[in-house]
Amino acid sequence: MDECAKVLAEIRQTDDRRILAPHLLDYSVLQWWSSAYRDAYRNTIESLAILREEGAETPYLSTAYCQSEITLPWGLLLLGEWGEALREVRTRITMLENNGDDRRTQAMRLYLAWIHLHAMDFAGVLVICASIFPALGDPAVPSGLRIFRC
């Protein structure tokens, strides 16, 4: 982590924000893995802002945006900022639905269920999971696969 921080400081000195953005995001992932959630959040937000400034044509398709789908909501959840985590996930679900990206929409819904689980909203978790895995409530599905069924 220390070595990465030094290299990132050198990249910042070049004053080329286009080069800084992906490295900043990569570093934020390391911070997130190291439980430095607040710093990871700040660096992810900064990286995404730089990418928007640079005029990425479809930023939601970028690797940076995909990486931020993990670090932002999970970081906010682990910081105890559940309301903000819910807003982040719901915003992303709406955007992904509008773009027809079903796979990533389903992943975001799992993140939504995870937030509800931490809030001990077990009924909400079941509703969300049933919407993601409707076959799990089907009696024709083998019982070993109906783990979410009440």
At 31-55, the pLDDT tens digits run 888 899 999 999 988 988 888 887 6
On whether both 2 and 67 belong to a single domain, the answer is yes
CA pair distance 66, 68, nearest whole angstrom: 5
Q: Quick one: 4 and 46 in the same domain?
A: yes
Q: How many domains does the chain contain in total?
A: 2
* pLDDT, block means (10 residues), the chain with 150 residues: 85 85 87 90 88 68 73 89 93 90 87 94 92 66 43
Task: State the pTM of this model.
Answer: 0.72
- Amino acid symbol at 134: P
* Residues, the chain: 150
Q: Which domain holds residue 95?
A: 81-150
In which residue are the tokens 């670090």 written?
71
The tokens of 145 are what? 């696969």
